[in-house]
């Protein structure tokens, strides 16, 4: 297989100059007389900040504000550079190693771009990517987990992990022929949840926990229902994580407008008035998007 290695970015590329500037700033923060807070950080302490910054970037992207997205992407990049500097000062790894490893992976996993392998559509390319990743794990001796579901980080947010799991299961042949099967699964799981709910619990107010004897079964069936909803999203070629975030945003926006309509607070307002205000705001949203 012939190789078509990528050309490094030109030295006068403005992105290179901007990156050099940011690298200098982040290195300075970790100098002996740099920022006290940055000097106290470790790889472990930086990890949660990177996760938080990544979520803020996702939120900015979804609001479609280029300015906000650029700012949040900068926060992610800056945090990553500081983390690499911490690791370098600890003698573990450095930015050069990280960048070279990343470049090598991209080249190796894109033989349709950097070699003469056939490309095809996006689904074919993704399948090829996963096969190459599996080969890499085998070469490193990571053969203990040979499942088609291997390689999915367990720390992913639940809906995101459900997405990856569903995609891999379908790719392995575990799927319904049409999305009717996926929708029927939602109804099936809902019925199973209803069957496990203790008698009378639906007449109880918010925050009433199921009895201890029923709790584990209710939790399991509720989890199955949520998972089946996430899987149905994938059959529709939708991202359940993004769909859920959008639903939360809509709820937040409508609730705040409802609060304004009923006088600034929902406390002490009767339910009929609240529902009327909520439905009016919901109708307003439907009219605005139609």
Domain 14-108 superfamily per CATH: MazG-like (1.10.287.1080)
Give yes or no for a contact between 84 and 117, defined as CB atoms under 8 angstroms apart: no
DSSP code string of 226-268: HHHHHHHHHHTT--HHHHHHHHHHHHHHHHHHHHHHTTS--TT
What is the phi/psi pair of residue 115, to 5°? -140, -160
Q: Indicate the angle between helix axes 240-261 and 43-62, nearest 10 degrees.
A: 70
The pLDDT tens digits for 192-235 are: 999 999 999 999 999 999 999 999 999 999 999 999 999 999 99
The whole-chain average pLDDT of the chain stands at 91
pLDDT digits (tens, 9 = 90+) for 6-62: 889 999 999 999 999 999 999 999 999 999 999 999 999 999 899 899 989 988 998
Compute CA 101 distance to the chain's CA centroid, rounded to the nearest angstrom.
Answer: 23
Regarding predicted confidence, which is higher, 43 or 153? 43
What pLDDT, on the 0 to 100 scale, is given for residue 290? 61
Among 19, 138, 137, smallest CA distance to 80 is for 19
Mean pLDDT, residues 140-162: 81
Report residue 1's pLDDT band, with 50, 70 and 90 as the boundaries.
low
Q: What is the pLDDT of residues 182-191, one digit of tens each?
A: 999 999 999 9
Structure pTM?
A: 0.68
Residue 1's closest CA among 87, 88, 97, 113? 113
- Using a 10 angstrom Cβ sphere, with 0-12 exposed, 13-18 middle and 19 or more buried, the burial of residue 123 is exposed
High-pLDDT (> 70) share of the chain, %: 97
Write down the pLDDT at residue 162.
95
What's residue 147's pLDDT? 83
């Amino acid at each position: 297989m012939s190789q078509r290695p990528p050309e490094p970015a030109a030295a006068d590329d403005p992105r290179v100059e901007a990156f050099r500037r940011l690298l200098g700033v982040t290195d300075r923060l970790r100098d002996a007389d740099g920022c006290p807070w940055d000097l106290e950080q470790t790889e472990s302490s930086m990890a949660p900040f990177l996760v938080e910054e990544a979520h803020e970037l996702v939120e900015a992207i979804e609001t479609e504000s280029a300015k906000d997205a650029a700012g949040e992407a900068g926060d992610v990049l800056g945090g990553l550079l500081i983390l690499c500097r911490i690791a370098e000062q600890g003698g573990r790894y450095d930015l050069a190693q990280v960048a070279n490893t990343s470049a090598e992976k991209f080249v190796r996993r894109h033989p349709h771009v950097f070699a003469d392998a056939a490309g095809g559509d996006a689904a074919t390319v993704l399948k090829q990517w996963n096969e190459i990743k599996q080969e890499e794990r085998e070469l490193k001796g990571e053969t203990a987990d040979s499942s088609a579901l291997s390689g999915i980080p367990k720390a992913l947010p639940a809906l995101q992990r459900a997405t990856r799991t569903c995609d891999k299961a379908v790719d392995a042949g575990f799927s319904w022929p049409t999305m009717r099967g996926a929708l029927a699964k939602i109804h099936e799981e809902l019925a199973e949840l209803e069957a496990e709910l203790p008698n009378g619990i639906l007449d109880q107010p918010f925050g009433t926990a199921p009895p201890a004897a029923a709790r584990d079964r209710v939790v399991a069936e509720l989890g199955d229902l949520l998972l089946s909803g996430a899987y149905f999203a994938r059959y529709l070629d939708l991202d359940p994580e993004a769909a859920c975030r959008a639903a939360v945003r809509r709820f937040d926006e409508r609730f705040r407008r409802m609060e304004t309509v009923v006088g600034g607070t929902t406390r002490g307002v009767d339910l009929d008035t609240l529902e009327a205000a909520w439905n009016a705001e919901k109708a307003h949203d439907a009219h605005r998007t139609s």
